[in-house]
Homo-oligomer: A and B are copies of this chain.
Amino acid sequence: MIDNPYYSQDVHGPYEIAEIGDFALEDGGAIPHCRIAYATFGRLSSAKDNAILVTTWYSGTSKIMEQTYIGPGRALDPEKYFIIVVNQIGSGLSSSPHNSPGPIGMSKFPSVRISDDVRAQHQLLTEKFGLSELALVTGASMGAQQTYEWAVRYPQMVKRAAPIAGTAKNTEHSFLYAQTLCEAVTADPGWNGGEYRSNADVVEGLKRQAHLWAVMGWSTEWFVQKQYAPLGFTDAQAFLTGFMEPFFAPMDPNDLLCMAWKWQRGDVSRLTAGDLAAALGRVTAKTFVMPIGTDMFFPVSDCAAEQKLVPDSELRILNNSGGHLALFGIDEDFKTQVDAALRELLAIPVVKQQPAMAR
C-alpha cells in the first residue's frame, strides 16, 4: 500500500465508499473487505425506476464522468434521474493495487475481470440501493465493456444500454494496444516488478504510456486540425508535455496495469462458452451502440459487427475528429451528440418482460 494524493477526495471527490465484503473473483482469489467507490447525483424515485448506472473507463473516475456527461439540462440529468457512477476495481478509488493492504497489495493484487466489476456493481445496486431495474446503463471504452457485461449478465435488470466507444468482446488489436501501454510502464526499471515506493519512481514509464495515448488516442485528423490549440498549446510536443504527460504521470502504475489486464480480456461470450452471438442475443435492453467515427482501437467496424448481434439495437456513430479521446469531451459538439443519442434512448418506452421461468 502506498500513498498517492491523486486518488483523494480533493482531486476526485466527492465520492463515497461501500464495503461489499470479501469479494471472490472469477479467476480465483478474493478481495477482502472490497471497497467500491461511487458518486451519486439526483434522487431515487419512490418507485425506484429512475436509476442510471454510469461505468468508468481506463484511468477515469467518477469525477470525469460527472464533469463531462452529467448535469442539469444534460441527457444524464440529476433533476430527472438518480445517477450512480461506480468506479471500477483498480481505478485507484475502489479497491486497487496501490491502496490495498499487504496480502493483496501492489504486485500481489489478484487479476480482476470486467465480470467481477459488474458483479460487484450488481451487489452494490441491489443490496445498498434496493434496485431491481436500471433505466439505463452507459459507459465508454472500458465502461462500454461493463455496459455490455451488464446487459448480457443481468438482462432483466437493464432496460436500456448505451455502450460508447467500446466492445463486448475485446479484439486482438485492442489487446495488443493495451499490451504496449503495459510495456511502457513495466519497461521502466523503477517499476521494479510492481514493488516501487512511489509512482514517481515510474514517471518515465508513465510518460511513455502518455505518448502512446497521444498516438492512438486522438486521431490523425485531430492533429492536422491542431485541435490542441484551443487548449492553449502551440504544437503537438507542447501538448504532449503540457497535457498528456501531466495527465498520466500522477497515476499509479499497478492500478493502470490492473485495469489494462481487465480491458484486454473483456468478453461477454465467457458467459456462453465463447459464442458471442449467443451472448449478445441474450440482451433484452433497448441498445444504442455508439462508436466514434475516428476511433483507432475501438473502430466503427468492430462495434458495428457486434451491434448486428444485439436484438433490439441501433448503431449511432459519433462523428468527431477526436478519435477515442473525443470521450474527454473537449469538443462541445461531441457532448451534444452523446446527449442527443442518450436522450432519445431514454425517451423510448421499455417494458421488461419477466423471465420465461417466471411466467
Contacts and interface: CB of A to CB of B under 8 A. Distances in A.
Interface of A: 171-177, 179-180, 183-184, 187-189, 204-205, 208, 211-212, 214-216, 218, 220-221, 223-224, 235-237, 240, 296-297, 299, 301-302, 305
Contacts of A176: 211, 214-215, 223, 236, 240
A235 B172 CA distance: 8
Nearest to A187: B187
A205 B188 CA distance: 11
Contacts of A301: 220-221, 224
18 contacts: A171-B220, A172-B235, A173-B224, A174-B220, A175-B236, A176-B211, A176-B215, A180-B208, A180-B211, A180-B215, A183-B208, A183-B211, A184-B187, A187-B204, A187-B208, A220-B296, A224-B301, A224-B305
Contacts of A297: 220
B224 A171 contact: yes
A172 B172 CA distance: 27
Contacts of A223: 171-173, 176
A338 B245 CA distance: 40
Given A184-B187, A215-B216, 8 more contacts: A171-B223, A171-B224, A172-B236, A173-B220, A180-B212, A187-B208, A212-B212, A224-B305
A211 B204 CA distance: 19
A244 to B, nearest CB: 10
A211 B173 CA distance: 11
A220 B167 CA distance: 13
A177 B215 CA distance: 6
Contacts of A214: 176
Contacts of A188: 187
A220 to B, nearest CB: 5
A322 to B, nearest CB: 13
Contacts of A237: 172
A173 B235 CA distance: 11
